[in-house]
Amino acid sequence: MVARVREAVGGTLVTWLSDGEAADITCPQLPDLALVRTILGGAAIDAFALPAEGRRRALLIADMDSTILVGETLDELADEVGLKERIAEITARSMNGELDFRTALRERVAMLRGLDLSALDRTWARMTLMPGAQTLVRTMRAHGATTALVSGGFTFFTGRVAALCDFHYHRSNILLDDGARLTGEVAEPILDRDAKLAELRALAAGRDLGTEAALAIGDGANDLAMIREAGLGIAYRAKPIVAAEARHRIDHADLRAALFAQGYHAEQFIA
């Protein structure tokens, strides 16, 4: 398969970043990614077409739900009140851009009114990290990148995920409570797609960089603005609207693919 792609794009040197798993093909000019995907013929292989210069990004900004974490924390929290199916349907429509994110978030949180705060801990105990999440964050951080978890989810979860993965920074929404139970409200202003884009720009400016120095990765419609703006914007196992609009996609591999896309060799990974 590598040989077929190399021939089709006029490639020269093939370098294995991970034996039998990830290969770099040096080309005289940027190849047509649509052609590469045609040659792959539906095989479970992800492909990127990137200039060799400047491949490694100095910033990582990542979504949390269904990107760094498996599944949606709000949907799992709704399971505590027997509303997972109902709330998950709203989540899916919101993430595919069919509903206004802020309106949909307020609607779903309102359904959790009166839920005991212990449900947050029970929900967290059921969540798992996406394969490759810690490796992605720790490797980029070890090589000098600033790493940020920016989510439309909630600080209760982003704080724990940030600690597990060694993100420098996390920002998300705040669930309101009365000290014992959820009030069914979320603090304003709500962190939405515009806020994620603003965070990307602020992080870049804080390091005196342009947004082309960033890797942004996410799966939902509220991630599209930052994915479009970042120098390397990746749709990760994304909703149809996001996959259709993002130039770069990871449809099959785990999150380590975002490191291979930057030219990291497997032996450089921080596992």
Does residue 145 form part of some domain?
yes
Q: Which of 24, 32, 46, 63 is the catalytic position?
A: 63
Does residue 32 form part of some domain?
yes
Task: Determine the pLDDT at residue 243.
Answer: 94
| Ranges assigned E (strand) in 98-164 | 146-154
Does residue 86 form part of some domain?
no
- Do 25 and 132 belong together in one domain? no
Task: Determine the pLDDT at residue 3.
Answer: 95
Decide: helix, strand or coil at residue 67: coil
Residue 229 sits in a domain whose CATH number is: 3.40.50.1000
Task: Determine the pLDDT at residue 88.
Answer: 95
Q: Token pair of 29, please?
A: 């000019």
Task: Determine the pLDDT at residue 153.
Answer: 97
Q: How far apart are CA 267 and CA 254, in angstroms?
A: 17
- Do 218 and 233 belong together in one domain? yes
Split the chain (271 residues) into runs of 10 and give each run's mean pLDDT: 95 96 96 93 95 94 98 97 96 94 96 98 98 98 98 98 98 98 97 97 97 98 97 97 95 98 98 84
User: Residue 19 carries which DSSP code?
Assistant: T
- Do 60 and 191 belong together in one domain? yes
Global confidence as pTM: 0.96
Does residue 87 form part of some domain?
no
Asked if 65 is an active-site residue, the reply is yes
Q: Which of 19, 24, 32, 65 is the catalytic position?
A: 65
Q: 51, 37 in Cβ contact below 8 A?
A: no
Task: Determine the pLDDT at residue 69.
Answer: 98
42 C-beta neighbours (distance < 10 Å), count: 7
Look at the chain and report how many structural domains it folds into. Answer: 2
- Which range of residues forms the domain containing residue 23? 1-49
Q: How far apart are CA 108 and CA 192, in angstroms?
A: 15
Task: Determine the pLDDT at residue 271.
Answer: 84
Q: Token pair of 44, please?
A: 């479970």
Asked if 219 is an active-site residue, the reply is no
